[in-house]
Structure 1
Amino acid sequence: MDFDKYLEGQSMQRPPLFESDSFIYWKNRFETYVKSKDLDLWHVITNGDFQPIIQNPETKLDEVAPLEKQSDELKKRLAKNNEAKMVIYNALPRKEYERIFMCNTTKEIWKTLSITHQGNSQVKDNKIDLLVQQYEQFVISEDESIDSAFAKFNTIITSLKALDEGYSSKNYVRKFLRALHPKWRAKVAAIEESKDLTLLSLDELIGNLKVYEMIIKKDSKIVKAKVERKSLALKAKNESSDEECSTSGSEDEEYAMAIRDFKKFFKRRGRFVRQPRNDKKTLQRSRDDKNGKNDRKCFRCGDPNHLIRECPKLPKDKNQRAFNRRPPTGVYR
């Protein structure tokens, strides 16, 4: 039978359907259901069947009464045995029914189910140790919501209660406050100052934290919107600056290309530019030197580095010396 369909058609007359994967959850629900119907039924499940015992008026001793000697009140009480067994049968699927078919009493059925799906005392102790460890190490991450954190926390403490192990409500409150992320530190301090933690229930604490969580989310959205607007404005400014830099760079590049073209033009046309007279003589002398035409030298000493009029050696002939001092008119060396 599908569990969802079972729940849809389930009424208060039907016990919760057995869940092997969530035995503790089913066990708690089943116990509550049976107690809501008849406390005698739960007594039969946990303590055993009622016995047909009556007191012998003569001996004042308890003895098993045969059916014909049982009173109507006793018969109704004995009927609770079968009624309790039927309640468990109605909650079990066929596979589980085959497991407990050989049990004679409701107490045996209940014990068999507990040992099978919950374990014996050793297994129970191991589960308790594991749950206690989870309880002590319980922490709430930064992005985790209060509802999600409380759901995990509640699963732990509920499982501990089902195993007859638990803490006080005061301990639950303090543990949940300590497990909150540091961003809740201001709120935790405010609660500890304004509330008496010995009287504060876990449900009241969760409600208080959820209200504060809504305020934090609202403020976070406002801040996020402001950051996005600033980011868009900065992006637009950067794009505008990039366009200006690109335009300026393009103009500089065009100017540089024009200068290069201008220099190339005059480099090609340089031979047609009129040169100064002195530069022209220097250029001609340089060309003559390269072509080997500069063979002039001093006629007195033979030094090619100066002419005769610049010769430091004096002539031996006096007439020649006078000739050098006063050259004839129209004669140039």
Structure 2
Amino acid sequence: MGCDTPKEAWRKIKEEFEGNQQTKLMQILNLKREFGMMRMKNNEGVKEYGSRLMSIVNQIKLLGGDFSSQRVVDKLLVTLPERYETKISSLEDTKDLSKLTVSELINSLHAVDQRRSMREEEIGGKNEGLLLAKVSSSKGTGNKVQCNHCHKM
């Protein structure tokens, strides 16, 4: 309301929502820290992890920061859990990793997730209906069997 020209009003609105240059630099620094500390969760697929990484990268780029896709590829290769080691080794042998794009890497690794989930479904179907139990012994009462599902004896 206190601005005399549209240009002045735009500058004021832009500064209000985006912040000044120092604020942007601090936001970029915080996002880069978050990117550096990021790790893949145990129950997370490679596509979800890649999306989380790219979300941070996109925020950095929106704030005017520079972030190469090669850095994202490197981050993925270094922070993936051991279950991807064989696929990563295969990629190292067959491709030039310096020219590998983020989407190529994620799609290659996603195949590992898909195969694993198909195997788990196969195993689950074969074992369906089996009662899993563990035997525990206690003094004077002999052996008891405890259900792993409901934990009743």
Is the TM value for this pair above 0.5?
Answer: yes
Matched with 1:15 is: none
CA distance in 2, matches of 1:184, 1:170: 19
Matched with 1:307 is: none
Structure 1 residue matching 2:44: 3-state secondary structure: coil
Does the 8 Å CA contact 1:142/1:183 hold for their aligned counterparts? no
Q: 1:215 aligns with which of 115, 124, 143?
A: 115
- Structure 1 residues 157 and 103, CA gap change in structure 2 (3 angstroms): farther
Matched with 2:32 is: 132
Asked which structure has the greater CA Rg, the reply is 1
In terms of fraction of residues, the more strand-rich structure is: 2
Query: Deviation string for 1:258-301 (max 9, x for gaps)?
Result: xxxxxxxxxxxxxxxxxxxxxxxxxxxxxxxxxxxxxxxxxxxx
- Structure 1 residues 142 and 102, CA gap change in structure 2 (3 angstroms): same
Shift of 1:213: 1.5
Give 1:139's aligned amino acid: R
Query: Deviation string for 1:49-77 (max 9, x for gaps)?
Result: xxxxxxxxxxxxxxxxxxxxxxxxxxxxx
Equivalent residues in 2 for 1:1-333, closer than 5 Å? 102=3, 104-106=5-7, 108-226=8-126, 228=127, 232=130
- Structure 1 residues 155 and 109, CA gap change in structure 2 (3 angstroms): farther
Does the 8 Å CA contact 2:40/2:49 hold for their aligned counterparts? yes
- Structure 1 residues 212 and 123, CA gap change in structure 2 (3 angstroms): same
Does the 8 Å CA contact 1:146/1:206 hold for their aligned counterparts? yes
Shift of 1:234: 7.5
CA distance in 1, matches of 2:105, 2:93: 14
CA distance in 1, matches of 2:64, 2:51: 20
CA-based RMSD = 2.3
Contiguous gaps of at least 5 residues in structure 1: 1-97, 236-333
Shift of 1:105: 4.0
Contiguous gaps of at least 5 residues in structure 2: 134-153
Give 2:5's aligned amino acid: N
Does the 8 Å CA contact 2:73/2:101 hold for their aligned counterparts? yes
- Structure 1 residues 170 and 103, CA gap change in structure 2 (3 angstroms): farther
CA distance in 2, matches of 1:115, 1:129: 19
Does the 8 Å CA contact 1:146/1:209 hold for their aligned counterparts? yes
Shift of 1:166: 2.6
Aligned-pair identity in percent equals 23
- What TM-score do the two structures reach when normalised by structure 2? 0.74
